[in-house]
């Protein structure tokens, strides 16, 4: 036997599949008309998928490409600046990560924030992460976000109560539920929803921000978890918003979510929670928009759970069957039942009656669907609590007037993040006969000139005339 006859046998011992390819059809090859010498010894390499199917892998930009304009705020995990890209002129928000005290590498909160934003920032109601910029040292790492002019809490504090009309509140809540449903459909729990983490731009678009505590809750894969049962007793249909996956392996921490927006199951020590804790936070935000201030303002965890019990009534095994299994529930419920706050009038009244007494009277005048939605979001039992998708389709948005306002119809306000300061000017000495305008003016509304007559405003123009200077509120652009 010559050397050429031995070679296929040697290759077949290395790659058994090669001999099957050669010896099919009595050694004539698997393809007709192809001889053994013409067939390749090894199979052709697999063609990789195109790059556009994967996130782009690029080099991080240098922070020298950005010009810092002013400092916005400082948090526990970073400092946020407003900056301008020198070549394109785009205004962005730079978040400098605090790396000085990190001894175990890159901070886990920032890794989670980057990961979740790469998965979900394509939604219009989720803040967009443009890129990551680095400096000359390992401590100079910046997350480059789109710049949004306001956060909801600062806007409410600066402009006072009654800032938003009911139709605008509906629009804000619907955008919030849309963005939250998108996060939950990607198996992301935000775990820190509050009014200060909701951004609002000058076009009326709300964006969910600050994903430092966000967590993927489906890392363990699908689990044999029973389907949630709806309020009418039927089993809910499985969808992207239904909670059909178990949390990641191991217990999760219950020290998440700012205290005033923390759900009762977290306050009672539950560690196997899911997306229902975000829905409770949405209910607190909805009540804050309707009331003008947070609904549950506890001083500590014990005071917070008492505030919830006195507002909604204490939970029972009927309203929340699993409450008895929570670690802190027996002692807290027993202590509350013996306190003077647990009166017969509190336990005998329905949650609807108790909650309506803590809200403005105008809420009941707008119809019953508003309270129905709020009670569905603030339901004690997490398995019976509305999902983000169910809440977004609630009849309060579609059927009960007024309809949600279009984002473009929102007014504009001075942006503290952009260095714009709202300053009151005394007009009595300068124009005593001029009627004082309101604290804000909508796009396209009429403004009053110095003689009291109305003139049509021009959107997008900043006049430096004397009439402009005699307005009650001026913008001081001082960085």
CATH of the domain at 83: 3.30.200.20
The answer to whether residues 281 and 389 belong to one domain is yes
Identify the domain boundary among 124, 146, 168. 146
The answer to whether residues 246 and 169 belong to one domain is yes
- Could you tell me if residue 44 is inside a domain? no
> Structural domain of residue 440, as residue ranges?
421-479
The answer to whether residues 174 and 104 belong to one domain is no
- Could you tell me if residue 8 is inside a domain? no
The answer to whether residues 96 and 119 belong to one domain is yes
The answer to whether residues 87 and 112 belong to one domain is yes
The answer to whether residues 170 and 200 belong to one domain is yes
User: To the nearest whole percent, how much of the chain has pLDDT over 70?
Assistant: 68
- Could you tell me if residue 25 is inside a domain? no
Low pLDDT (below 70) residues in the chain:
1-58, 100-102, 218-250, 421-479
Could you read off the pLDDT of 127-172 as tens digits, one per residue?
A: 999 999 998 887 889 999 999 999 999 988 888 778 899 999 999 9
The answer to whether residues 113 and 199 belong to one domain is no
The answer to whether residues 100 and 232 belong to one domain is no
What phi and psi values does residue 287 have, to the nearest 5 degrees? Answer: -65, -35
Residues 6+ apart with CB under 8 A from 3: none
**Strand pairing report for 150-151 and 141-146:** unpaired
Q: Give pLDDT, residue 428.
A: 38
The answer to whether residues 230 and 272 belong to one domain is yes
C-alpha distances in angstroms, 119 versus 2, 153, 349, 352, 382? 60, 26, 45, 38, 26
| Range list of H helices, 160-300 | 166-185, 264-267, 276-291
- Could you tell me if residue 257 is inside a domain? yes
pTM: 0.72
What is the CATH classification number for the domain harbouring 397? 1.10.510.10
Q: Give pLDDT, residue 264.
A: 96
- Could you tell me if residue 287 is inside a domain? yes
Q: Give pLDDT, residue 259.
A: 94
The answer to whether residues 398 and 318 belong to one domain is yes
Could you read off the pLDDT of 351-392 as tens digits, one per residue?
A: 999 999 998 887 777 778 999 999 999 999 999 999 999 999
Identify the domain boundary among 409, 435, 451. 409
The answer to whether residues 433 and 296 belong to one domain is no
- Is 372 one of the annotated active-site residues of the chain? no
Q: Give pLDDT, residue 22.
A: 41
Identify the domain boundary among 146, 168, 199. 146
Total number of domains in the chain? 3
Of 23, 24, 192, 274, the active-site residue reads 192
In this structure, are residues 155 and 255 in contact, taking their beta carbons and an 8 Å threshold?
no
> How many helices and strands, by DSSP H and E, does the chain display?
16, 15
The answer to whether residues 289 and 367 belong to one domain is yes
């Amino acid at each position: 036997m010559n050397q050429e006859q031995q070679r296929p046998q040697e290759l077949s011992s290395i790659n058994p599949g090669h001999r099957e390819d050669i010896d099919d059809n009595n050694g004539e090859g698997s393809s007709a008309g192809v001889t053994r010498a013409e067939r390749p010894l090894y199979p052709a390499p697999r063609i990789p998928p195109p790059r556009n199917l994967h996130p782009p892998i690029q080099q991080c930009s240098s922070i020298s490409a950005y010009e810092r304009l002013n400092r916005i705020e400082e948090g526990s995990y970073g400092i946020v600046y407003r900056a301008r890209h020198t070549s394109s002129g785009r205004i962005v928000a730079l978040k400098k990560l605090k790396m000085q005290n990190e001894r175990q590498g890159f901070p886990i909160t920032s890794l989670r924030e980057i990961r979740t934003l790469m998965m979900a920032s394509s939604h219009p109601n989720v803040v967009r992460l443009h890129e990551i910029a680095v400096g000359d040292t390992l401590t100079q790492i910046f997350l480059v976000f789109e710049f949004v002019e306001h956060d909801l809490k600062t806007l409410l504090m600066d402009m006072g109560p009654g800032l938003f009309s009911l139709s605008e509140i509906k629009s804000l809540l619907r955008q919030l539920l849309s963005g939250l449903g998108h996060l939950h459909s990607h198996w992301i729990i935000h775990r820190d929803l509050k009014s200060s983490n909701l951004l609002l731009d000058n076009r009326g678009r709300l964006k969910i921000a600050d994903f430092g505590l966000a967590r993927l809750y489906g890392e363990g894969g699908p689990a044999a978890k029973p389907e949630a049962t709806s309020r009418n007793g039927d089993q809910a249909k499985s969808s992207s918003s239904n909670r059909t996956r178990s949390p990641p392996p191991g217990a999760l921490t219950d020290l998440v979510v700012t205290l005033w927006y923390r759900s009762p199951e977290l306050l009672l020590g539950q560690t196997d929670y899911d997306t229902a804790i975000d829905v409770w936070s949405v209910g607190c935000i909805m009540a804050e928009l309707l009331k003008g201030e947070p609904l549950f303002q506890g001083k500590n965890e014990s005071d917070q759970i008492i505030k919830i019990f006195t507002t909604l009534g204490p939970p029972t095994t009927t309203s929340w069957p699993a409450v008895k299994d929570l670690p802190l529930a027996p002692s807290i419920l027993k202590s509350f039942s013996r306190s003077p706050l647990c009166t017969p009038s509190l336990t005998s009244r329905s949650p609807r009656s108790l909650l309506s007494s803590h809200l403005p009277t105008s809420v009941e005048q707008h119809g019953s669907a508003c309270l129905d939605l709020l009670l569905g979001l603030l339901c004690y039992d997490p398995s019976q609590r509305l999902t983000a998708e169910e809440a977004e389709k609630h009849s309060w948005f579609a059927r009960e007037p007024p309809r949600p306002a279009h984002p473009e119809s929102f007014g504009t306000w001075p942006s503290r993040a952009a260095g714009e300061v709202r300053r009151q000017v005394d007009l009595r000495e300068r124009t005593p006969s001029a009627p004082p305008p309101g604290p804000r003016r909508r796009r396209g509304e009429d403004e009053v000139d110095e003689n009291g007559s109305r003139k049509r405003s021009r959107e997008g123009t900043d006049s430096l005339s004397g009439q402009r200077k005699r307005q009650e509120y001026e913008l001081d652009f001082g960085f």
